[in-house]
């Protein structure tokens, strides 16, 4: 099926060449914005990581080996989104090995990303795995099922297991793996290109095994976009896949990759499609296109993506900023409690906000000023009288926003209760929107929590020692 869809064209960008480019900046323009910590695969150590501005570009630089990585292309908004709401990870310690970091992660990580294979049935030129260290791309090695059981036993804190590959559906025993995860009391998420889901019987086998959510890409409604980003004409197949997911009533998250001068015009159609299908689509997570560690004409910096999404969806950019502030305030209030898993363990460049779906259209849940008042009240929580006054004065806003957050938590931890109380209909009134950029895992470690990690990488080399802590960022 995949071979029939592959059609290279003259405007096909040579993304594969970008991984060989070097990151260059003018040393005279460098300004250190912050110093945090990150893991380094090359040096097998947790090392200080400098966040540096050069002109309007922001990048990171590791102290151990000097490795650099592009982060953003709008320094002003970067400062507003990151420096104002920076959360340092308490489990990172300079000098620790990656193995020591993993041991700590096992006790602090609610979401585990588990790579189960290294092969794919298509060849997306933008695949982030091609730019990652420690990935034996195309390897025929599989993670043994027995090893997966051991990993589940070791990682007691991980309540959600996300199966990724390159393409995990190429494993014939995938339904068995999903079943083992469900039987262990965890939720199983599958990240897939979806081509095998064209077969409804196969999709039903995953549903019967206990899949909780399927995450798949939808980059727009024009095959020109798919030829550039994915190397083929995948639009019709993608629409059929989504129809199958809808008919089987499987919770779905869309992950569109947005490239500069490639598909910014598809942001509204994608969000609008999701708004028309909240009966099975619960979120859209827009990823800015990355091309390795360098900055190219196709790279979409997260700040630029924030601005474009606000423009295309006709919402105030400050609305997104205030949701970032809200998550930061909730973390400060609930640090150490269950909310830590939803606030602390997110990469710093990741923005998340909710939109209300009314008559098939998307709009802000609250006005920006209402969000600001909620945040002001939360920031005064140490003064109980002032905090209580703020809650009472903005009671309706607190109730509306709080009900959305609480319902999301109930759907994750108490799905039977939400079904019993028929609360799922309420959740269809709101769409969760995420914004991020795929980063090499080690850059993410210092940016807001060890929320995602991988315990195993498939590899053909018998002498290969897999990195012991990984943080993919999609």
pLDDT, tens digit, 9 for 90 and up, residues 229-277: 998 999 999 999 999 999 999 999 999 999 988 999 999 999 999 999 9
Summarize the chain as % helix, strand, coil (round to 5): 40, 20, 40
Mean pLDDT, the chain, rounded, equals 78
Tokens of 382: 């140490």
**CA 15 to centroid of chain Cα atoms:** 21
Contacts of 225 (CB under 8 A, 6+ apart): 219, 262, 263, 266
pLDDT, tens digit, 9 for 90 and up, residues 286-341: 988 876 566 677 888 888 899 999 999 999 999 999 998 888 887 777 664 543 43
The pairing of strands 361-364 and 257-258 is unpaired
Burial-class residue 217 by CB neighbours within 10 Å (0-12, 13-18, 19+): buried
Instruction: Give the DSSP H/E element, type plus range, for residue 431.
Output: strand 430-437
Tokens of 397: 């806003």
What are φ and ψ of residue 89, in 5° steps? -80, 125
SS (H, E, C) 360-417: CEEEECCCHHHHHHHHHHHHCCCCHHHHHHHHHHCHHHHHHHHHHHHHHHHHHHCHHH
pLDDT, tens digit, 9 for 90 and up, residues 152-187: 877 777 788 889 888 999 999 999 999 999 998 889
Residue ranges of domains in the chain: 98-444
Q: How far apart are CA 109 and CA 451, in angstroms?
A: 5
pTM attached to this predicted model:
0.85
What are φ and ψ of residue 190, in 5° steps? -115, 120
Give me the helices (H) in 128-266, please: 145-154, 174-183, 200-209, 223-229, 235-247
Query: Mean pLDDT across the stretch 92-99?
Result: 80
pLDDT, tens digit, 9 for 90 and up, residues 11-43: 445 555 555 455 566 777 889 988 877 777 778
CATH superfamily of 98-444: Aldolase class I (3.20.20.70)
Instruction: Using pLDDT thresholds of 50, 70 and 90, give the confidence band for residue 467.
Output: very low
């Amino acid at each position: 099926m995949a071979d029939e869809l592959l059609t290279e064209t003259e405007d096909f960008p040579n993304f594969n060449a970008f991984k060989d480019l070097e990151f260059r900046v003018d040393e005279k323009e460098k300004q250190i914005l912050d110093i945090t910590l990150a893991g380094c695969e090359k040096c097998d150590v947790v090392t200080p990581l400098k966040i540096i501005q050069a002109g309007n570009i922001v990048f990171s630089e590791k102290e151990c080996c000097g490795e650099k990585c592009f982060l953003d292309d709008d320094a002003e908004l970067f400062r507003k989104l990151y420096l104002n709401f920076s959360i340092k990870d308490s489990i990172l310690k300079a000098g620790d090995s990656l193995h020591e970091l993993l041991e700590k992660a096992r006790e602090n990580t609610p979401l585990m990303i588990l790579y189960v294979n290294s092969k794919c049935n298509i060849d997306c030129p933008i695949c982030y795995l091609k730019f990652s260290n420690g990935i034996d791309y195309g390897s025929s090695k599989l993670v043994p099922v027995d090893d997966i059981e051991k990993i589940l036993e070791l990682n007691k804190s991980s309540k959600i297991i996300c199966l990724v590959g390159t393409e995990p559906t190429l494993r014939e025993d995938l339904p068995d793996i999903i079943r083992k995860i469900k039987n262990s009391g965890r939720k199983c998420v599958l990240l897939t290109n979806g081509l095998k889901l064209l077969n409804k019987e196969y999709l039903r086998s995953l549903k019967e095994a206990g899949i909780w959510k399927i995450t798949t890409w939808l980059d727009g409604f024009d095959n020109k976009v798919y030829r550039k980003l994915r190397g083929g004409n995948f639009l019709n197949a993608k629409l059929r896949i989504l129809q199958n997911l809808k008919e089987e009533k499987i919770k779905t998250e869309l992950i569109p990759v947005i490239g500069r001068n490639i598909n910014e015009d598809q942001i509204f159609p994608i969000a609008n499609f999701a708004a028309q299908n909240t009966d099975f689509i619960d979120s859209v997570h827009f990823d800015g296109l990355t091309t390795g560690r360098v900055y190219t004409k196709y790279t979409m910096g997260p700040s630029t993506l924030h601005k474009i999404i606000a423009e295309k969806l006709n919402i105030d950019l400050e609305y997104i900023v205030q949701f970032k502030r809200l998550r930061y305030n909730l973390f400060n209030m609930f640090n150490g409690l269950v909310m830590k898993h939803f606030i602390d363990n997110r990469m710093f460049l990741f923005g998340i906000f909710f939109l209300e779906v009314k008559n098939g259209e998307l709009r802000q849940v609250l006005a920006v000023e209402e969000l600001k008042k909620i945040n002001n009240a939360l920031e005064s929580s140490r003064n109980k009288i002032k905090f209580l006054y703020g809650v009472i004065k903005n009671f309706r806003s607190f109730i509306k926003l709080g009900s959305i957050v609480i319902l999301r938590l109930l759907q994750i931890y108490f799905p039977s209760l939400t079904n019993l109380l028929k609360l799922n209909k309420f959740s269809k009134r709101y769409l969760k929107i995420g914004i991020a950029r795929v980063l090499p895992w080690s850059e993410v470690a210092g940016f807001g929590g060890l929320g995602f990690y991988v315990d195993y990488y498939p590899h053909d080399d018998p002498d290969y020692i897999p990195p012991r802590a990984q943080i993919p960022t999609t």
